[in-house]
Chains A and B, each alone.
Chain A
Amino acid sequence: DTVLTQSPALAVSPGERVTISCRASESVSTGMHWYQQKPGQQPKLLIYGASNLESGVPARFSGSGSGTDFTLTIDPVEADDTATYFCQQSWNDPRTFGGGTKLELK
C-alpha cells in the first residue's frame, strides 16, 4: 500500500503562512487530495488533484506538488483553521490517507 507521511502537529499564529507536507512512499502523480477535519465532524474536501481548490473553499487554501511530495498552504491562517488536515491519494490501490497534521493556533 502507498504510505503517506505527514508531520503530526504544527503551531502557528493567526495571520501567518503555514505549509503542511505530505510525502508518498511511491508516485501518486497528481492524485492527491487534502481534507480538513474538526473534532466531532466529518472531513471536508479542500483541495483535489493536488492543486485544485474545491468549490466554496476560501482562496487562502492552496495545494501543490506531484509525484511523491505535496504541500497544503494556508495563507493567512485564521483562528477557525484549527483542525486536523489529512492528505489522501487516489492514484494507487488501495486508496490511502496520511496520519493527519494537527494545526494549532498560538
Chain B
Amino acid sequence: QVQLQQSGAELVKPGSSVKISCKASGYTFTSYDMHWIKQQPGNGLEWIGWIYPGNGNTKYNQKFNGKATLTADKSSSTAYMQLSSLTSEDSAVYFCARGALDAWGQGASVTVSS
C-alpha cells in the first residue's frame, strides 16, 4: 500500500534552516508529483508547492518562494523540503502528499524557538 513516512519533530532556532524528509513506498516514486502543505495550530492548510521526482521539476506557491526548497532523491524514493531563515511564523506541521493528494504523510512538526 502507498505509504509516506516523514521525519520527526524538529525544534530549531530563529534564523536557522531545517530539512524535512518524506520517504515514499508502495508506488513508483518517479511517476507522481509530491506536494508539501503547511498547517499552523488551529489554522487551515496552505499549499507550499510540488516537485516531480521523475525530472526534478518544481512549482511553488509564490508566498513560499525563497522560504521553501523542494528536492527529491530517486535512489531512495525520498522527497525533501528545506525551510530557510526560520521565524516563529514557520512553526507548523508540514505534510507531504502524493499527486492528487490521495495519500499523505503523518506530518512533521517544526517549532521555531530560541
Contact = CB atoms under 8 A, between A and B. Distances in A.
B47 A54 contact: no
Contacts of A94: 47, 61-63
Contact of A33 (B61, B101, B105): B101
Interface string B78-106: 00000000000000000101001110111
A45 B44 contact: no
A100 B97 CA distance: 18
A46 to B, nearest CB: 10
Interface residues of A, number: 19
Nearest to B43: A99
Contact size class for B? Answer: 10 to 19
14 contacts: A35-B101, A41-B106, A42-B95, A42-B106, A43-B104, A45-B101, A45-B102, A48-B100, A48-B102, A86-B44, A86-B45, A94-B62, A94-B63, A97-B46
Given A33-B101, A41-B106, A42-B106, 6 more contacts: A42-B95, A42-B104, A42-B107, A44-B104, A45-B101, A93-B59
